[in-house]
Amino acid sequence: MTIAIIAHDGKKAEMVAFIKDHTALFQKKHIQLIATGTTGSHLERAGLEVEKMESGPMGGDAQIASRLVEGRIDMVIFFRDPLGKHPHEVDVNMLMRLCDVYNIPLATNHAAAMRFIQTL
């Protein structure tokens, strides 16, 4: 299972805390993590193995969306900051739209991500 991990800058600390709280799950051999560049760097510093794409504004969201279309992503956890301005909002919307098109589970906040964790 491949899980994409993404977080806006204002939510990166919350994402890292969430992942650290569930490290045992995310370190299982059958789970692979992929992340946008900056989020991935934060996860690496937290001790997790993660494949990093470019940062979101540099095309990382689009790279993850491409893999999603290819059937290589099973789930997306994207802690969005609904109050911040994001120069790559078009890419974010595209990624979320493709999750709907390809029926990929998408959690955009802590509560939804917890439901995902409970199902794993």
Asked if 61 is an active-site residue, the reply is yes
The strand pairing partners of 76, in sequence order, are: 4, 106
Q: What is the largest CA-CA distance in the chain?
A: 36
- How far CA 57 is from CA of 26, 31, 43, 83, 91, in Å, comes to 26, 26, 18, 17, 8
Candidate list 9, 61, 81, 91, residue with the active-site label: 61
- How far CA 15 is from CA of 1, 20, 40, 43, in Å, comes to 19, 9, 11, 9
> In this structure, what token pair is assigned to residue 101?
């098109």
By annotation, the residues acting in catalysis are 61
